[in-house]
Amino acid sequence: MRTSTCFQCRYVILIICWLATLTSWAQTALTGTVRDAATDEPLPGVSIVVKGTTRGTATDAEGNFTLAASRGEVLVVSFVGMAKQEITLADQTTLAVKLADSKQNLDEVVVVGYGQQNRSELTGSVTSVDNTVFKSVPRTNVGTALQGTSPGLRVQQTTGQPGASPNIVLRGGTDYNGTGSPLYVVDGVVVPSLFGINMQDVEKIDVLKDAGSAAIYGSRAANGVILVTTRKGKAGKTSVTYSYKTARNYVRRNPLDYMSAADYIRWNRQGLASRYALAQLDGNTAEMNSTRNQLTGAWGWATNSAWTAPDGKYSTQLVSNANRRLLRDPQYGLLVDANPFNSNQKDSILYRSVSQRDLEDLILQRGVLNEHYLNFSGGNEQGNFSLGLGSISDQGILIGANLKRYNLNFNGGLNVGKNLVIGLNLAGYSAQSNDAYISADGGGGVNGGIVQRFTGIAPTVRLTNDNTGDQLPGVDGSTLGNPNYLRDKFLNQTGEQRYSGALNLTYNILPGLKALGQATGFYRYTTAETFNKAYINGTGGALVATRNASFTTQQVSNYLYNGFLQYDKTIGKHSLTVLAGGELNENRVYNYGATANLAATDFIPYLAASTAAVGVPTSSFASWQRLASAIGRIDYRFDNQYLLTVNLRYDGTSKLTNNRYGFFPGVSAGWNMHYADFFANSAVHQFISTLKPRLSYGVVGSIGILSDYATVPQYSSVGTYNGQPGFAAGSVTNTDLRWERASTTNFGLDMGLFNNRITLIADYYIRNVYDKLGSLTIPVASGFTAYTTNVGQLRNRGLELEVRADIIRPVAVGGFSWSVSANVSHVKNFAVKLPPNGLAQNRQGASQIFDPEQNRLVYVGGLQEGNRVGLDEVYAPVYDGLYTTQADLDARQTFYNSYLPTTNKRLKQLGDARWRDVDKNDTLDYRDFVYVGRTTPTVYGGFSTSLGWKGFSLFAQFDYSLGFVIANQQYLRGMSQVQGSQNGPTDVTQTWTPDNPNATLPRYYWANYGRNYFTDGGGNATPAANFWQKGDYVALRELTLSYETPSQLLAQLSGNRLHGLRVYLAGSNLLYFTGYNGSFPEIGGNDVGRFPLPRTVTLGATISL
Amino acid sequence: MKSFKLLLLAGGLSLGTSLVSCQDKLEEVVPQTSLNQSLVLTDANAALTLYTGVYASMRSYHATLLNLGEMRSDLWADGLFNETEDGTTKQLWSHDISATNAPVGSWGSFYSLLYRVNTVIKLFPNAPLDEARRKSALAEMYGLRAYIYYTMLRTWGGVPLITEPVSTIGNLADLYTPRAAPADVMKLIKDDIEQSLTLFAGSNTFTTKRVYWSRAASLTLKGDVNIWSGTHLGGGSADFTTAKTALEEVKAISTLGLQATYADVFDPLKEANNREVIFALSFEKNEATQSAYTNFLVNTTQASTLVLDPVPGPAVAVSSAYPLVAGANRNGLSSAMIARLTSGPTDARIRNSFRLMYRNTTGNPVAGTLLTKFIGRVDAGIQLYDNDFPIYRYADVLLLLAEANTKLGNDPSVDINAIRQRAYGTTYTRYVNGSQNANLNAILEEYLREFIGEGKRWWALRRAGDAYVFAAINPRYLPAGQTYKLLLPISIGLLNNDPKLTQTPGY
C-alpha cells in the first residue's frame, strides 16, 4: 500500500484504555436548569458542554445541572430533537435555559456519518425523517416509514408479505437500470437491510443524500446512507414505558369484477367460434378440428364428459337423461347457448358456479396484528441506559403468510472517571416468517402465482363433491387447487436471527483532543425450511407422497473496527473540528443446504424423518470481502455564519485486483445568511428568518454490482456429469476493473419564513457516475454475451423540495395547532458515456422503431450515449379502433400482421384491432411499435397534515408517484384467455361481436388466436399500447387520531405514578386514489397479481411510568 | 504532555504495522469455491473438471438439438394436441420464419459451448495429465467441436469460426467476426475429425456408460459429414466413398450392434454397456434430468379426461397409467401422420415411441399423442426423466451407410433390412434394392419411424437432398423453390450488435 493509512482499532482501544487513568481539572461552579420551552417542564438528560473543551455534564431528573465554567466561555446546550443553544457566560452563577422542540424547524440535531450536527451547522444534504410516522402505525419493516417522508428516496412496497423490505432507491440509483441500494447503518453498525429492526426502538432516521456528506462512508455511499439511531437513556428518573398495539388487517379485494359462470361459458364458446372462423379463413382444417374439439376439452367452460361425475374437476356439462335431475338441484344453473359451430343447435348446459368473492375468500383472510413493547431507560452522572424489548406478530391477508418477531435493543453509556466514556449497543432479533402456502406472485413471471391464477379460476370449478359436499383437492396441486384442501400441505418457513453489537469508546486526552474507537459486528443466521405433506395432485389425481423436506441455512458475519482522533478548537470566532482515523471491515457468508424425501408420515416436517437424499447436500463459503479505509473530516465554522465541511476517505477493497484503492473526498459549504449583519438589519429579515444557501461537491465510490471475486478469473461448478464434477468459466473476467466513482454537486437552500413558521429545504443535484461499472454487450461468438467494464458515465439530475409549515402555532400549551408538510422529488438519468462498441452512440439493448417525424427507423430505449436511460421505456404496437365494417376490412385487405399465428398473415375479421401502420409499409412488425411510457415514476413524494388541540391530534400522511405505466396482467390474461381455462374480467362481455358492433374492445378469441391483446399466443409479449395504464396514485398511507394526556393532569390523577399516557386509533394503507384497475399500483411494469397490502386499523396505547 | 507524545508514538507504530497488514488483509481474500487456470495447469484432477464441464454444459443443449434436428420436418406438423400450441416448435414446423422472426437466437448459444471446448483444447497440452488421458480427452474435444460446427453449418450455413478461447476483451472491434464461407466451416469440421481420429490412435474403447465422445462417434460423424459435403458442397462420390469407408469401420466394431429389443435402447436402467449407443448425453437422478419433452406430455387436468387403448379396451385413463407425469400437451402428430405410422404391420418402434390419447366421449376420437420414448420412470414418488439422449447410435450407422451406398449407386438393402427386422420381427417385409430415389425414400421412411424425438428426421431429409425436403414438407409452409428457407436467418438483434455480421442469403 503506497499511501493508504489503515488503522487497526484494537491498538487504538488499547491505547485509549491505558490512557484512561488521566485526570481532569476543576473550575468554579455554575448551576442551572433546562426546561422545555413549550411545556415548561424540566428536561432531564440534556447535554451541556463548554465549547472547545472536554468539560460537560448532563441535567438530572429535575433538569438541574452543575458545571465548572468561567466568564467568557460558551456553553453548548443540546438535546436530541431540540434546537441546540449556545450561551456565552458573563458573571452569572445560575442559568435558566429553555429548549424548543426542533421537530419542525431548521435547528434539529442531525446524525451524520461518525458524529452528529445541528442542522444550522449542516452543509450537506441530509433529510431527517419526521418521526410522527414512527409513533402509531405498526410497522413490521422500518423501511416503510420512509415512504413519502424523505425527499430523494423512492420507496416502493412490493408485497403485502409481513415484514418484507420495500425497494429503496436514492436519487434515481447509480445503476443504469435505476437501481442501487443505500447503505444502512444502525447505531454505527452497517447492516444488510432494515429487516428485523423494531420501529419502536428507533429514535431517529437520517438520510445522507449528497456526496459531500456521504463521502465519509466513501466507497459504499454512492446510493446514499440511511442512518438509524435507536433510543438512548437520558439522565434523570428511570422511566418505564409500555406500549401495545392491536390491529386488524382488512382484505383488499381485487377491483376487477370477473364474469359470472354463465357469461364465462358463453364467452369462451364465442372465443372458440372466433378462433374457428379465423382458422377457416386460413384454410387450416387441422386447426379448425382442433378448435372444434376444444368444446369438449378439459377446460372449465367445456362440456367434457369427465365433468359429469359428482367429483369432476369442473362442473360444466350438457343436459342428458343421466343428469336431468340436476335441473332441480339448487347448486346448478342452466345456460342455453347456441352451439358455436352449428348455429341451429342449442346446447343446454348445466353448471355449478362459485362467485369471485367466494374464491377470494378462500385465499384471503382478515389478519390480526399484535405488538408489545417495553422500554426501560434512565441515567445519571455515571452513565445512562435504555433497554427495549418488543414482540410483534402479524398475520398477512393471504392465507398462510405471517410473521412473528422478538426484539431486544440495549444502549448503555458509562462514564469511567472523568475522561472515558464507554458506549455499548447490543441488539438482536429473532424473526419467524411463513410465506403464503403457494407463491403469491409466482416469482414475478407473467404466469403469476396464486393471486392471479386462483382469483381468476373458472367459476365453474368444483371444490366440493356434488353429493356429499366433501372438499375436493381441486384442479391441480398448485395455483389452481382448492385452498381448503391445500392450505396446510406445503410448509414454507423462514427464520432469521441477527445479533449485533457495538462498543464505542471516547477518551478525552487533552482539552479539545479525544480519541474515539469503535468495534461493531453482527451475526445473522437465516434458515429456510420447507416440507410438503402428502397431497392429492388435483381431484382424482395421484397421491404425491414424496414428502420433500429441505433446509438452507445462511450464516453472515460482519466485523468493523475503527479508531479516530478528534480535535476541537475554538479561537475567537473561528471554530474547528478535525477527525482522522482508520477502519477495517470484513464480511463473510456461509451457506448450507440439503433436500431429502420419502418420510413415512406427515408428522415430522424435517429431514430427520426422510429416508433418501435428493441431490447433493451443499456447504460453501459463499462470500468473503474486506474493506480497509482511512477516514478524515474537517469542520470549520466562522462566527456560526460561514460553514465548511471536508470529508475524506481512502478505501481499499478485496473485490478489485489491479486497482484496489480509491480516494473519495467531499467538500461542502454553507452560509447562515440570516446571521450576517446586513441581513439581520434589513427589512427582509422580518419575513425571512433563516436563509442558508449550501453548496457541496463530493466523490463517493461504488463496487456494489461486483461479486466478491469479480476480478479473479475462475472456473466454477456447472454440474455433475456421469458422477464426475464439471467446471467451466462462467464469464470472461476483467482484472483491470476500478472503483466506480459518483460525484455529486449539490445546490441546497434552507429557508425559514415568518419566524420559521414556514421552512423550506430545497436541493438540486447533478450526480455523475464515472467509470461506471456496467455490462457491455459483446459479440455472441466470443462465447459470452456480456463483459463487465468501467467505461461509462451515468448522470442523475434531480430536484427535491421539502416544505413544512406551522400554519397555526399554539398560543398556549395545549392550544390549537395545525402544521402541514409536503415534499416532491424528481430525477432523470442519462447515459452520458458508454463503452465503445463500434455501434452508433455505442448503443446497448436499444430496439428499432419507425419515427414518422424523421421518416426513418430510429433506435429507441436501452442505452444510447447522450440520451436519457431508456431501459424502463415500454414500446408496443397500438391499434386505432376496430374493423367494424366490411369496407374497413377491404380497405386494408393487403395489410400484413407478422404476429398472426395463421399461415396467411393478411387475415382479419370484423372486431379485430386495426393496428396502426406507423411506417406505412402495409405490415405490422416491431417497427410499428410506439412509445408507451416508463415503468419508473418521474415525480414522487408525500405530504402530511397534523392538527393538535389539548392533547388531541389528528395526523394524515399521504404519498404519491406520478408518471409511470403499468400493465394489469390479471386483466389482460383474462381478456386474451391465454391460459385457456381462466375466467376473465366483465370487460370480456364488452368486446366486439356482431351483436355489439359499436364495442371498442377487440374481439375475444380463445387463447388469443387473433393476437388482439398480446402479439403472442402465450401472453409473454408486451401487451398492446392501448392496454397500458397510468400508474399514478396518491395513497392515504396513515390516518391517526391520538390523545396524549397532559402531564400535569396525568400527575394529578395518578398521584404522580404515571408520567405519560397516549391512546390512538390509526389506519394505514387505507386508500389509493388512482385510475389503475388493479389492487397494487405502486410498482410500474407488469403487475402479475401481487400480494396486496392490507388495510390496517390499529388501536394502541403507550404508558410511561 | 507526556501522554500525548506516547500517543503519537503508539499511533505512529500502529500506522506502520497496519500499512503492511492492511495490504495482506485484502490479499488474503481469495475465492473459496472455485478453481483457476493455474490449478488446472498443476493438477490433473482440476484439469479434468474442465473436460467434464464440457459434457455437463452440452447436456443443456438437448432441446436445441431436438428443435434443430426434428421440428422443422413433417413429423410434428399440424399435430393434434389438447392445449394451446407450443409457439416455439410451431414456428419451426410451420416454417414461419423471416428476417424479423428468426428462431433459435444467438446461434443457439453454441459459442458458449465452443468456448469451453476451446479452453480444454488450449490448456490440456500443458496440463499434468498422463499422455494417454491427455490424448483421449483432446480427441473427444476435437470430435465434439466438429459435431457442434456441423450442427451450425447445417442450420445457418456459414458461421463465424472461433477456435481459440477469448481471454481478455480489448478493443471490441477486434471481436466482431464475420461469417466464414460454408466451405471453410466444412474444412474445419473435417480437419477436426481427422485430428480426433489421430489422437484416438485406433482405440475403440467405450466407458461403461457411453456418454463420452468416442472414436466410433468421430467415425460416424465423418460418415454423416461426408454424405452432406458430397450432396451439398460438391464433394460427390469421393466424399460418399470416404463416408462409406468410415461407416463400415464403425459397423465392424465388435462392441457395437443393434439391441434386440427396441425399447432397451432408451431404458434408463440398461445404460451400462448398451451396445447400440455410440454417444449419448447423460441424464441421471441427482445430476440433471430431461426437460426437452415437457410440451410433448400432458397436464394432470387433461390426463384425467383422456384415455389409452379404448379399443379393444378396457380404456385406461391417462392419469392412472401415468399418474405422476406432468407437463403440457402442446405438440402432437397430425391424423395423417398417426395413420401413416400406426397402420400396416405392427412396428415395435411406434408403440415404444408414443401413445395415442383418446377423448372420453362416444367413439373415442383421438385427442393427441403422448411421447413416451423419453418419459423416464417412477422413482421415489416422482416421475424421473432420466433417459439418456442418444446423439449417435448403431441404427444411425446402418442408415447412414445405406445412404452412402445409395448415393454411390450401390445396393443399400442389407442395412435397411437390418433396421426393419428389429422393428417388425422376423416376418418383416424385406426391402429390395430399387432406384436411387426409391432407396432414399425407403431410408427416409426408416428415419421417420426409428428416431421419433431424437432430432434426426430433418437432417435426414436435408442430407437426402432439397427435393426430398420439399416433397416431405407441406407446401403451404415451405413452397418448393424457397431453398433459402432451408437455412435459418439470424436475428435483427444479432445484426444490430455486430457490424461484421451479414444476414443469411435469401432473407
Alpha-carbon distances of B224 from B150, B282, B318, B389, B462, rounded to whole Å: 9, 22, 39, 18, 12
Q: Give Rg (Cα) of chain B.
A: 27
The Cα of A218 is separated from the nearest Cα of chain B by a number of Å equal to 17
pLDDT bucket at B212, cuts 50 / 70 / 90: very high
What DSSP state is assigned to residue B322?
Answer: S
Q: Which residues pair with A76 in a beta bridge?
A: A49, A86
β-strands A236-250, A367-380: how paired? antiparallel
Whole-number Å distance between alpha carbons of A153 and A159: 18
Contacting residues of A for B82, CB less than 8 Å apart: 297-298
HEC string for B232-269? HCCCHHHHHHHHHHHHHHHHCCCCCCCCCCHHHHCCCC
β-strand A923-924 against A896-897: which pairing, if any?
parallel
Cα distance between residue B213 and residue B192, in whole Å? 13
**Burial zone of B207 (CB within 10 Å; 0-12 exposed, 13-18 middle, 19+ buried):** exposed
pLDDT of residue A10: 44
What is the CB neighbour count within 10 angstroms for residue A161? 25
pLDDT at B22 over 60: yes
pLDDT(A606) > 90: yes
Q: For residues A524 and A193, what is the distance between their CA atoms, to the nearest angstrom? A: 11
Judge whether B25 and A628 are in contact, CB under 8 Å: yes
Q: Express each pLDDT in B367-411 by its tens digit.
A: 999 999 999 999 988 999 999 999 999 999 999 999 999 999 999
**Angle, CA A788 vertex, CA A937 and CA B501 arms, to 5°:** 95
Measure in Å the smallest separation between the Cα of A260 and chain B Cα atoms. Answer: 22
Distance between CA atoms of A849 and A925, rounded to whole angstroms?
9
Examine residue B314 and say whether the peptide bond preceding it is cis (omega within 30 degrees of 0).
yes
Contact A417/B at CB under 8 A: no
What is the nearest CA distance from B47 to chain A, expressed in angstroms?
9
Q: Highest mean pLDDT range out of A1042-1056, B61-75, B481-495?
A: B61-75
- The pLDDT, as a whole number, for residue A1055 is 77
Q: Beta strands A490-510 and A774-777: pairing type?
A: unpaired
Nearest 5°: phi and psi at B458? -65, -45
Task: Over range A671-684, report the average pLDDT.
Answer: 85
Nearest residue to B168 via CA among A738, A776, A713, A781: A713
Chain B contact present for A306, CB below 8 A: yes
Query: For A251-388, where are the alpha helices, taking DSSP H only?
Result: 261-281, 285-293, 356-363
* pLDDT, position A170: 92
User: Is the full-model pTM beyond 0.90?
Assistant: no
Asked whether A931 and A875 are in contact (CB, 8 A), the reply is yes
Cross-chain CB nearest to A782 (options B98, B111, B304):
B111
- Chain A residue with Cα closest to B161: A781
What pLDDT, in 10s, does the model give residues A513-572? 999 999 999 999 999 999 999 999 889 888 999 999 999 999 999 999 999 999 999 888
Cα B94 to Cα B85: distance, rounded to the nearest angstrom: 12
Q: Is B112's CB within 8 Å of A783's CB? A: yes
pLDDT category at A159 given cuts 50, 70, 90 is very high
The pLDDT confidence band at residue A78, using thresholds 50, 70 and 90, is confident
Mean pLDDT of all residues in B462-490: 95
Q: What is the mean pLDDT of chain A?
A: 89
Is residue B215 within 8 A of residue B288, CB to CB? The reply is no
What counts of helices (H) and strands (E) characterise chain B? 21, 8
* Residue A546 burial class via C-beta count within 10 angstroms: exposed 0-12, middle 13-18, buried 19 and up: buried
| Region class of B276: left (phi > 0), else alpha (psi between -120 and 50), else beta | alpha
CB contact under 8 A, A290 and B81: yes
Query: Which of B114, B168, B169 has the most A C-beta neighbours within 10 Å, making it the best mutation to test the interface with A?
Result: B169
Instruction: List, as one string, the DSSP characters of A1060-1092.
Output: EEEEEEEEEEEEEEES-SSS-TTS-EEE----P
Are B167 and A732 an interchain contact pair (Cβ–Cβ within 8 Å)?
yes
Q: Which of B319, B382, B494 sits opposite A540 (nearest CB)?
A: B319
SS3 sequence of A234-275:
CCEEEEEEEEEEEEEEECCCCCCCECCHHHHHHHHHHHHHHH
State mean pLDDT over A109-136: 76
Count of beta carbons in the 10 Å neighbourhood of residue A611: 11
Give tens-digit pLDDT for A646-673.
988 899 999 999 999 999 998 989 898 8
pLDDT of residue A528: 96
Phi, psi of A315 (to 5 degrees): -115, 0
In whole angstroms, what is the distance from residue B496 CA to residue A841 CA?
12
- Phi and psi at A55, nearest 5°, equal -75, 135
Q: Among residues A248, A708, A705, A254, which one has the least CA distance to residue A455?
A: A254
Interface TM-score (ipTM) > 0.90? yes
Angstrom distance (rounded) from CA A610 to CA A411? 45
Average of per-residue pLDDT across A396-406: 95
Q: Per DSSP, what are the bridge partners of residue B284?
A: B288
pLDDT number for residue A24: 34
Residues of chain B contacting A726 with CB distance shorter than 8 Å: 49, 52-57
Average pLDDT of span A671-695: 87
Residues of A (153-192) whose Cβ lies below 8 Å from B: none
User: Could you tell me how far CA A822 lies from the centroid of its own chain?
Assistant: 20
- Is A825 in contact with A152 (CB distance < 8 Å)? yes
Answer whether residue B4 shows pLDDT above 90: no
CA–CA distance, A323 with B278 (Å, rounded to integer) = 58
A712 vs A90 pLDDT, higher one:
A712
* Integer Cα distance of B156 and B181 in angstroms: 11
Contact A423, A413 (CB under 8 A): yes
Give, for B300, the enclosing helix (H) or strand (E): helix B300-303
With helix as H, strand as E and coil as C, how does B336-398 read? HHHHHHHCCCCCHHHHCCEEEEEECCCCCCEEEEEECCCCCEEECCEEECCCCEEEEEHHHHH
Q: pLDDT for B100-125, tens place per residue?
A: 889 998 999 999 999 999 999 999 99
Alpha-carbon torsion angle B111, B117, B123, B128, nearest 10:
160
- Range name among A674-683, A858-867, A1051-1060 with the lowest pLDDT average: A1051-1060
**B301 to chain A, closest Cα gap in Å:** 7
DSSP code per residue over A27-80: --EEEEEEEETTT--B-TT-EEEETTSS-EEE--TTSEEEEE--TT-EEEEE-T
**Ramachandran quadrant class, A572 (left: phi over 0; alpha: psi -120 to 50; beta: rest):** left
Neighbours of A104 (CB within 10 A): 20
Question: How far apart, in Å, do the first and last CA atoms of chain B sit?
Answer: 87
Q: Length of chain A, please?
A: 1105
Whether the predicted pLDDT of A426 surpasses 90? yes
| Residue A348: strand pairing partners | A336
A124 against B129, higher pLDDT = B129
Amino acid at B188: L
- Give the residue from A12, A715, A785, A841 with the most B CB atoms within 10 Å of its CB, the best one to mutate: A715
The minimal CB distance from B50 to the residues A476, A620, A727 is found for A727
Residues 874-913 of A with CB under 8 A from B: 898, 901, 903
Does the distance separating the beta carbons of B300 and A538 come in below 8 Å? yes
Query: What cell was used for A855?
Result: 421518416
Q: How confident is the model at residue A131 (pLDDT cuts 50, 70, 90)?
A: confident
Task: Compute the distance between CA of residue A363 and CA of residue A398 in angstroms, rounded to an integer.
Answer: 6
Q: Where are the alpha helices (DSSP H) in A596-753?
A: 677-680
**Cβ within 8 Å, pair B114-A787:** no
Res A704: pLDDT: 79
If contacts are CB pairs under 8 Å, which of residues 695-714 in chain A contact chain B?
A: 708-709, 712-714
